[in-house]
C-alpha cells in the first residue's frame, strides 16, 4: 500500500488541512470529566490520514523483536528496540528466568519493606553497585518512576536542580514534583551550565546537577570530566542517567565513566534501567550507602510499590554475567553503529550530533516528512519509528535508529539503501 507523494498534490492537501482546522474546542468532556487535548489528538489523526500517513505506533509484533521482527506475519529489519547487545531471548537468560520462576513464582506479592524482600533483590543490587563503582544500590519496578521518585524525595523547595535541556521526561517530572527550582542549560554546554550556576547557586540551599550518559534522542554524550569539575566548583551533587549507557559505553559496557575515563565515585548517584542492555524491566539508583538506605525507607515509588518480580531480576543478573564474559558484544554494537552513522553521512543525510554509540537519528526537519518516510520504509520492510513534534522541535523531527550488536553489516547496508530509495520516491 502506498500513499500520495509530496509533489504536485501537496498544495491540495494543505488546503484540506486548512478546511479541517478550525472545528474543535480546546477540550472535550466525558461524563463530567474534562479531557484537555483530546480534540487536538483527533485533529492530528485526521491530518495524518488526509496526507496518507498511517499511525506508526502500537504495532503488534508477533514474537521476539531483535535485529529482525515479525509484524502481521511479515519480517522486517528492526531498529525500534532497545536490545543493544542482542541478549533478549538468549537461552542462558531464559534458563535463569525459568529457575527463578519455579523457585519464587511470578511476583513477590508485596512491597519489599513489608514482606516482599527476596535474596535476588540484594544480589542484583550488589551487582549493580559494583558495576558502577558505588557503595550500594536500590532497584525499583519502573525506570521512569525511579527518576521521578528519587528526585522528588531527595530535593526540596529552596534547592536547585540544574539539568541538560534534553533531559528525559522522567527527570523533568521528578524535578517538578520535588518543588525545587528547576533550570535547564543548553544541551551538552558546560559553559552554559556554569553561567546558570554562577547566577543562581548562591540563592539556594542544595544543588543537583543532572546529566544523561547517552542522550536517547541524539545519540551523543556529555563531557563528563568537565561537568564533574563544574559540580565541585559550585558544591553540587550529581546524578547521571545511564539508561542508554549501560552495556553501550566503555570497552566493558560500564557506561559513561568508563568511556570518559572518570572515576565513578566522583558521581554521587548513578541511575539506570533494566529494560535496555539488561533486557528486563525496572530501574535503579546506585550511590552512597546512606543515600540508598534513605531512599529505601522513604521514597514513595519504592516503599509503596511491589518489589521487582523474580523473573525480571533473574534476566538482568544473567545479562550482567554475559556482558562480563562477552565484551565482544559491546565492540560489535560500536562497529554496527559507526557503520550506520558513516553510511548515512556519506549518503548526505543529517544525523545531528550522534556519535555512533547505539543511537543514530536521521533528521528530516519536518514531522510530516518523518511520518511519511517511516511509512515508506515500513512498506519496504524496515521498522523504524518517527519522532515528531512536540516530542522534539518541528525542525528537529527525525527517525530514530536503535542499533543492536545482532544487526549484520548487510542489514545496515540494506537499510541505508532503502532510506535512499524511500527519500527519492517521496521527493518525486
Residue 22 is predicted with a pLDDT of 44
Beta strands in 50-147 (DSSP E): 68-71, 74-78, 136-140
| 9 pLDDT tier (thresholds 50, 70, 90) | very low
H or E, element range at 27? strand 27-30
Domain 56-88+327-427 is found in CATH 2.40.50.140? no
H or E, element range at 19? helix 10-21
Sheet (strand 207-212) strand order: 136-140, 283-287, 269-273, 237-241, 207-212, 160-164, 181-185
399-419: pLDDT as tens digits: 999 999 999 999 999 999 999
pLDDT over 90 for what percent of the chain?
Answer: 84
| Least confidently predicted of 1-5, 158-162, 218-222, 403-407 | 1-5
113-150: pLDDT as tens digits: 999 999 999 999 999 999 999 999 999 999 999 999 99
- Specify the domain boundaries for CATH 3.40.640.10 within the chain: 108-308
| 13 pLDDT tier (thresholds 50, 70, 90) | very low
For 62, 70, 327, 400, 413, the CA distances from 74, given in Å and listed in that order, are: 9, 5, 32, 21, 20
Among candidates 170, 266, 281, 270, which has minimal Cα distance to 216?
A: 170
Per DSSP, the three-state class of 334 is: helix
Mean pLDDT score, 43-50: 68
| 256 pLDDT tier (thresholds 50, 70, 90) | very high
Q: Is a pLDDT exceeding 80 seen at residue 36?
A: no
Mean pLDDT score, 295-302: 97
316-364: pLDDT as tens digits: 999 999 999 999 999 999 999 999 999 999 999 999 999 999 999 999 9
Residue 10 is predicted with a pLDDT of 45
Q: Is a pLDDT exceeding 60 seen at residue 3?
A: no
| 27 pLDDT tier (thresholds 50, 70, 90) | low
Residue 427 is predicted with a pLDDT of 86
Residue 28 is predicted with a pLDDT of 54
69-81: pLDDT as tens digits: 999 999 999 999 9
Residue with cell 502506498: 2
Mean pLDDT score, 276-301: 97
Could you count the other beta carbons within 10 Å of the beta carbon of residue 336? 25
Residue 162 is predicted with a pLDDT of 98
Mean pLDDT score, 195-224: 97
Residue 188 is predicted with a pLDDT of 97
Mean pLDDT score, 28-45: 67
Average pLDDT, the chain: 91
Which CATH number among 3.30.70.20, 2.10.240.10, 3.40.640.10, 3.90.660.10 corresponds to the domain 108-308? 3.40.640.10
- Specify the domain boundaries for CATH 3.90.1150.10 within the chain: 56-88+327-427
pTM across the whole model: 0.89
Residue 260 is predicted with a pLDDT of 97
Mean pLDDT score, 385-389: 91
Widest CA span of the chain, in angstroms? 66
Q: Which residue has the higher pLDDT, 428 or 277?
A: 277
| 21 pLDDT tier (thresholds 50, 70, 90) | very low
Residue 193 is predicted with a pLDDT of 98
β-bridge partners, 161:
182, 208
Residue with cell 568508563: 258
pLDDT over 70 for what percent of the chain?
Answer: 89
Amino acid at each position: 500500500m502506498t500513499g500520495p507523494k509530496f509533489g504536485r498534490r501537496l498544495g491540495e492537501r494543505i488546503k484540506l488541512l486548512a478546511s479541517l482546522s478550525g472545528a474543535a474546542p480546546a477540550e472535550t468532556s466525558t461524563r463530567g470529566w474534562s479531557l484537555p487535548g483530546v480534540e487536538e489528538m483527533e485533529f492530528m489523526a485526521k491530518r495524518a490520514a488526509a496526507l496518507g500517513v498511517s499511525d506508526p505506533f502500537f504495532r503488534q509484533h508477533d514474537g521476539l523483536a531483535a535485529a529482525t521482527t515479525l509484524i502481521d506475519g511479515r519480517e522486517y529489519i528492526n531498529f525500534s528496540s532497545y536490545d543493544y547487545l542482542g541478549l533478549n531471548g538468549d537461552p542462558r537468560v531464559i534458563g535463569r528466568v525459568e529457575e527463578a520462576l519455579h523457585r519464587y513464582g511470578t511476583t513477590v506479592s508485596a512491597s519489599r519493606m513489608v514482606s516482599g524482600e527476596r535474596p535476588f533483590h540484594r544480589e542484583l543490587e550488589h551487582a549493580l553497585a559494583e558495576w558502577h563503582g558505588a557503595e550500594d544500590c536500590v532497584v525499583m519496578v519502573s525506570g521512569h518512576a525511579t527518576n521521578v521518585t528519587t528526585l522528588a524525595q531527595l530535593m526540596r523547595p529552596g534547592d536547585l536542580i540544574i539539568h541538560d535541556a534534553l533531559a528525559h521526561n522522567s527527570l523533568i517530572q521528578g524535578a517538578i514534583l520535588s518543588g525545587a527550582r528547576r533550570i535547564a542549560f543548553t544541551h551538552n554546554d558546560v559553559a552554559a551550565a556554569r553561567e546558570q550556576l554562577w547566577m543562581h547557586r548562591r540563592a539556594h540551599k542544595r544543588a543537583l546537577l543532572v546529566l544523561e550518559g547517552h542522550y536517547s534522542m541524539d545519540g551523543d554524550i556529555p563531557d563528563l570530566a568537565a561537568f564533574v569539575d563544574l559540580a565541585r566548583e559550585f558544591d553540587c551533587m550529581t546524578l547521571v542517567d545511564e539508561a542508554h549507557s549501560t552495556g553501550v559505553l566503555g570497552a566493558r559496557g560500564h557506561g559513561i565513566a568508563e568511556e570518559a575515563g572518570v572515576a565513578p565515585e566522583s558521581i554521587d548517584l548513578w541511575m539506570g534501567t533494566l529494560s535496555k542492555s539488561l533486557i528486563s524491566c525496572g530501574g535503579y539508583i546506585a550511590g552512597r550507602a546512606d543515600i540508598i538506605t534513605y531512599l529505601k525507607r522513604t521514597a514513595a515509588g519504592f516503599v509503596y510499590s511491589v518489589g521487582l518480580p523474580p523473573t525480571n531480576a533473574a534476566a538482568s543478573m544473567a545479562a550482567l554475567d554475559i556482558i562480563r564474559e562477552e565484551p565482544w558484544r559491546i565492540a560489535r554494537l560500536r562497529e554496527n553503529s559507526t557503520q550506520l552513522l558513516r553510511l548515512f553521512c556519506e549518503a548526505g543525510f543529517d544525523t545531528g550530533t550522534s556519535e555512533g554509540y547505539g543511537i543514530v537519528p536521521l533528521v528530516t526537519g519536518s514531522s510530516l516528512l518523518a511520518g511519511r518516510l517511516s511509512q515508506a520504509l515500513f512498506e519496504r520492510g524496515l521498522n523504524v519509528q518517527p519522532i515528531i513534534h512536540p516530542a522534539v522541535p518541528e525542525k528537529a523531527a527525525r527517525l530514530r535508529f536503535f542499533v543492536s550488536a545482532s544487526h549484520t553489516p548487510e542489514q545496515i547496508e540494506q537499510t541505508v539503501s532503502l532510506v535512499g530509495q524511500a527519500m527519492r520516491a517521496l521527493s518525486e
